[in-house]
Chain A
Amino acid sequence: MNRIDAKRRNVVDHRKKQFADPVFKETQYPHRLNFYSEPPTADITLEQFEQWAIDRLRVLAELEACSFRNKTPAETATHMKPLLDKYLPLDSTSSHSSQLHAQRQKDHYSHFILRLAFASTEDLRRRFTRVETMLFRLRFQADDSRERAAFVRTLNLDWEPVSEEEKRELAQQLGATLAAGFGGKRGGPGVMDEDWCKVDWTRVPDLVESRKVYLRGGMAYVPGREQQSMVLNAFTKRLEEALELTSRALPNLDEDDRLTPILNHLSKNFIAPDSGYTSAGSSAIEGAEISARNIDNLSQHFPLCMSNVHRTLRRDGKLKHFGRLQYTLFLKGIGLSLEEALIFWRTGFRAVSDDTFNKEYRYNVRHCYGDVGGDSNRRSGGSSPFGCQKILTEHAPGPGEAHGCPYRHFTIDNLTTLLRATGVTDPAVLKGVKEDTEAQRYHIACNRVFEHLHKTELKRAKDEGIMTAAQLETIVHPNEYFKRSYLLKHLDAAPKRERDVKMEAVVSFAGS
C-alpha cells in the first residue's frame, strides 16, 4: 500500500468512503492486458493521480490523431511505440521486469481516473471508448501469444477452445475455411498452428456472412486471427456499459474539491486537435489582411465547409444558429478580431435591422470571443474553433442549415455541384471525392480537393524543400486548411527562411 502524507489525507478519506470493500487489498496484475473490470483499491497521491492521468491522456490524444490521419495499423504502431514506452510502458510477464507491478498499476489507475473525467457527456464517452479500444487493440496485437491466450481465457467470453484432437479431426474443414475466408495458397496455412475457438454462430454474424468461420451444429469455429475482433467487441461493449454507470455515479464526486478541478482540466485537454486556435490572433498569419472587408477575398482559401457557409451568408443575407457558430469560431481562428467580426456580421446580415442584430446576434459573436459569458468563458477566451471531428459528428445540419461538412452531409449530386461552383471540375478529382465519401473517408476527400487546388504550389514547396513530411499530414482542422492554403498561395510573399518558420507554425498544433 502506498504511503501518503498527511496533507493528502482528505482525498484518501473521501475515496475510502466510496470503496465497497473496506479492507484494502492490493490488486494483483497477473496479465499485461486488462479489461478494467475491477476498480483500483490502493491509495495514491494527488500528484500521481494527476500525472498518471495526463500521461495516459497524451497517449490517447495521439492515438486519436493517428486515426484522424487515417494511418494504417502498422503506421500507428510504429508512431505510438516511443510514446507508449515513455508514458505508459507495459512489459510482458515473461520479461520479469521489476517494474511490472508499477507499470500495470499506473495503467489500471490512469484508465479509471480518465473514466471519471470522460464519463460526463455522451460525446466524451464515445471518444474515450473509441481511443481506449484502439489502445487495447495495439497492446493486444503486441502481446506475447501465449500470455494473450491466457488472458483471453480469463474473460469468460462464452467461447470454448477447440481441442487439439478436434482440430485434427476437422483439419480438412478448418483448413478450407481458413483458405476460403482469408485467401492464401493451396494447402493453406496451418490449421494446427491456429488457435481455434467455438462460439455460438449468432455471436459472430459478420464472420458467418463472409463465410470466414466453419459452422457445425450452430457453433462457429473461429480462427485465432478473428478472435481479436471478438475480444475487441467485448472490450468496447463492457467499457460503454461501465461508462454509462460511471456517468450516473458522477454527482457523488462533487464533494471532493480537490479532484473536480483536475478532472475538468483533463476532459478539457482532451479536445486536443482543436486547441491550437483558441484565442483570436494567436494563430494569425503575419502580413495577411484579416479584416471584415477582405473575407470575400480570403474565402478562396476556405475549406468547403466554410466556403459553403460563406456562400450561404452572401446569398441569403442571414445564417442559422449552428452555421453562425461554426463560421464565427472559424473566422476567429484565422485571426479576425472581435471588432472586425462584429462589422463582418453586421454587414453580412443585410436582411436584419440594426435593432434585431444588436438584440439577437451581437451577443453571440461576443460570446464566441469570450467577451461576455461569465468568468470561465472570458478566461478561456471563448470557445475553440471546431475541428473536423466535431463538425463531422455533432449537430448534423437539417433543412435550410448550411453548417456541417459538405463531404459528409451533402448528397453526392449536391456535393458535386458545390465543388464545381468552387472551381473543382476535374472529373478524376470528382470521381475520387465520390469514392472517398462513399467509403466515409471525408477527411481524405477534403484533402484530395486541397491537393488538387494547390497542386502547383505543393510541388514547388516540395521541390524547394520547404515542406517536411510532417507538414504534409492530412488536414483535420478547417483552420489548418486555411493556413496552409494561404501560405502556399503566398510562397513569394516572404523570403525562404521565414517561410520555413511559418510552415513549422502551421503544424505546431498537431504535435502539441
Chain B
Amino acid sequence: MPPSDPPPAESDGNHAAAIPMDEDGPAVATSSSPADEDTVMVEASEAQGAVGAASPSAKPPSPKTAEEDDIGVEIKQESKGDVKLEELFDDMDSDDDEFITSNNPANGQEPAAEGPNKDAAFELLRIYYQSFFPWRYMFQWLNHSPVPTNDFKHREFSLWLHNDAVMRYQSYKTSDLFRRDVLRLMPRRIEIGPVYTADPRDRKTFRNSTAFQPLAKELCFDIDLTEYDDVRTCCSGTKICHKCWKFTTMAIKVLDAALREDFGFHHILWVFSGRRGIHAWVCDKKARSLSDNQRKAITSYFDIMSGGKQGGKRVNLRRPLHPHLARSIDILKSHFQHDVLETQDPWQAPDKAEVLLQQIPDTELREALRKKWDASPGRSSAAKWADIDTLAQTQASSSLDPRDLRDAKQDVLLELTYPRLDAAVSQKLNHLLKSPFVVHPGTGQVCVPIDHRDLEAFDPFAVPTLQGLIAEMDAWAEKHGSEAAGSQDVKHLQDWEKTSLKPYIEYFRSFVTTLMKDERDVGIKREREEDGEVPIKVESLDF
C-alpha cells in the first residue's frame, strides 16, 4: 500500500484524531502547511497560564482551550527570531512521522493508542510518563553528574503538545520539575536540544545574541529507511519489515566501528526512532563540545555519495580505499550477499539490472552480461552478481583491468549498503532530536535504546508499545497480586521492572552509569592537568 493512502484509522475518529499532525510522505511537501499556518508556538509562561494548576490527571490542553483563554500564541512564521523556519523543516525530515498507518504487515500489534477515544489515549500516556519513563536516568544522562549542573539546567527541551503547539526553549532546574511539567502538559513528543550559555528560558533578556549561544550537544545521527527506497524491494515509504530493517543493522555496524575506532568515542547510544529508523547519540564530552565545523567534517567523512555523480555511478571512490572505507566493506560484505542480493534481489527486474550494467567498466563484458541475462529472465540478483566474475574470467576482455572491475563492484556494494545519513541532524549544534523513551504516537512503540553489541537480537516489532506495557503490568499484578503484596522484594519493584521495558531501561542505566563515571574521571584528570600546566607565554611586544 502506498504510504499516501489515507489511513482508515482516521475515519474512525479514534486516536488518529487526537494526533492531527500528518507528517506523512515527503516531509518537505507536508511540513510547509503545519509550520506556516497551523503550528503555533506557546511560550512557557503562557502555556502555564493556560493550563493553570492542572493536576497530572487532567486532560492536556486542546487547541480549543488555548483559543478560548485567549492566551498569546505565536505563529511560528512570525517567530523566526527564535526558530528558523528551515530548522523546523530539517527537524521534520527525520523518521518522526507521527501518524497512523493502517497496516504494518509484520507488526501484529494494533497501534497502541487506538483506544476507544482520545481521553483513554491520554490516560495511557499519563500512566506511561508516571510509571515507565526513566526520569532518573534521563536526568543523569543529560546532567553527567548526580547533582543538577548547567548541563541539565541550561539544556533546551521542546515539548510537542497535542494541539500542534510546540513549546521550545523549555528548561528545568531539576529532574523533578521536568517530570512535573511533562505530566502537566502531556506532550506527545519531547525533543532534546543543546545546552546553552544561559538558561534558555531567559534567552530574551539578553540584548546581544552572543550572550545566548548553544554550547554543547551530543553528536547525533539519524538514519531513516525511506532513504533506502531504491534498494528496498520489500517495502517502501514509511513501511518496514524484518528484511529491510537489516539496512539499519548494517548502518549501525559501520558507524559504530568508525566512531569508536577512528574518532575514539566510547559512549554511543543507539535508539530506535519508533517506526522506521534509528538515532545515534554520541555522548562523550569531546563529542558534545564539537563545533558546527567539526560536526560537518564528521558528516562529510561519512558521505561517500557526493562527488561521484558521473556515468550513472553515485559512488566513485579513489583507490586504494581509505582505511575507513576498506573496513566498512569488510563489515558489509556478508550483509551484502545475504541481506541484499539474496533477500532483496535488487536487480531482478530488467530495468534494475540495466542500472547494474551501467556500472560495469567494460563494454565487452557489459554486452556479454546483457546477452546472458536477456536469455534467462528472472535470473536472481545473486546469480547475476556471480555472473560478472564468471564472464570476466571466461570471456576475458582484452581491455578490462581486473582491478577496475573489483573497484566497480566495491562501489556498487557501498552504494547499496553504506549508511545513508540525514546530514542536517548531525551538522548543527543546535539541532533538536526526539528524546529516547518517548512513545511514537503512530506506532505506540517506545523509542528504546539498541544494544550495539547484539544488534541481530533487536527486533523492531518486538519493541514494547504503550498499550502492551499496560497490559503487561495488569498481567503481572494478577499473577503476583495477593501473594506478592507482603514480599519485600516485590514491593520495591518499579513498574517498568515488571514489564518487557526492563532490559531496555537497564541497558540505558548501565550506559548512563559508565558515562557518568568517565565524566568524573575526566574531570579529575583535567583538574590535575590544569594545576600542573605551564602557562602559555604571551608574546612580549614592546619593541
Task: Mark A residues whose CB is within 8 Å of B.
Answer: 15, 18-20, 37-40, 112-113, 115-116, 172-173, 175-177, 179-181, 183, 186, 188, 201-202, 205-206, 208-211, 214-219, 238, 241-242, 245-246, 249, 252
Contacts and interface: CB of A to CB of B under 8 A. Distances in A.
B322 A39 contact: no
Interface stretch (B346-354, B449-457, B462-470, B535-543): B535-543
A252 B542 CA distance: 9
B309 interface: no
Given A181-B318, A217-B264, 10 more contacts: A20-B542, A38-B539, A39-B541, A181-B322, A209-B296, A209-B300, A214-B323, A217-B262, A241-B539, A246-B541
A465 to B, nearest CB: 45
Name the residue among B319, B322, B403, B538 with the largest chain A CB count within 10 angstroms. B322
B357 interface: no
B136 interface: no
Interface string B311-327: 00000011111111110
A216 B261 contact: yes
A209 B318 contact: no
A20 B540 contact: yes
Contacts of A180: 317-322, 325
A46 to B, nearest CB: 14
A250 to B, nearest CB: 10
Given A208-B301, A209-B301, A176 B290 contact: no
B33 interface: no
Interface in B519-543: 538-543
B293 interface: yes
Contacts of B263: 201, 215, 218
Interface in B244-303: 261-265, 286, 290, 293-294, 296-298, 300-301
Contacts of B322: 176-177, 180-181, 211, 214
A202 B264 contact: no
A183 B318 contact: yes
Contacts of A219: 264
Contacts of A40: 543
8 contacts: A19-B542, A20-B542, A180-B325, A202-B294, A205-B297, A209-B297, A218-B262, A218-B286
B321 A176 contact: yes
Nearest to A181: B322
A116 B541 CA distance: 9
Interface string B393-413: 000000000010000000000
Nearest to A35: B539
Contact of B542 (A18, A186, A188, A209): A18
A305 to B, nearest CB: 33
Given A180-B318, A217-B261, A245 B293 contact: no
Contacts of A206: 297
A205 B295 CA distance: 9
User: Does more than half of chain A's interface fall in helix, strand or loop, or is it mixed?
Assistant: helix
Given A40-B543, A208-B301, A211-B301, A218 B264 contact: yes
Contacts of A214: 322-323
A244 to B, nearest CB: 10
Contacts of A38: 539-540
Nearest to B289: A202
B539 A245 contact: yes
Given A201-B263, A205-B297, A209-B301, A176 B323 contact: yes
Nearest to B296: A209
A37 B536 CA distance: 12
A39 B301 contact: no
Name the residue among B262, B317, B324, B538 with the largest chain A CB count within 10 angstroms. B262
A143 to B, nearest CB: 23
A414 B293 CA distance: 32
B90 to A, nearest CB: 20
A242 B539 contact: yes
Given A175-B320, A216-B261, A218-B263, A249 B542 contact: yes
Given A201-B263, A216-B261, A176 B320 contact: yes
B330 to A, nearest CB: 13
Contacts of A217: 261-262, 264
B539 A39 contact: yes
Contacts of A188: 320
10 closest Cβ pairs, A-B complex: A218-B264, A205-B297, A215-B262, A18-B542, A217-B264, A209-B297, A180-B322, A209-B300, A173-B323, A176-B320
A216 B262 contact: yes
Contact of A177 (B323, B538, B540): B323
B344 to A, nearest CB: 28
A17 B513 CA distance: 59
Nearest to A36: B539
Contact of A211 (B290, B324, B539): B324
Nearest to A221: B323
Contact of B543 (A39, A201, A202, A210): A39
A15 B320 contact: no
B318 A179 contact: yes
Interface in B7-38: none
Given A180-B317, A216-B261, A217-B264, A242 B323 contact: no
B321 A116 contact: no
Contact of B300 (A39, A210, A218): A210
Contacts of A202: 286, 290, 294
A183 B290 CA distance: 30
B217 to A, nearest CB: 15
A242 B539 CA distance: 7
A38 B540 CA distance: 7
Nearest to A202: B294
Nearest to A187: B320
Given A202-B294, A210-B300, A218-B264, A179 B543 contact: no
Contacts of B264: 216-219
Interface in B44-67: none
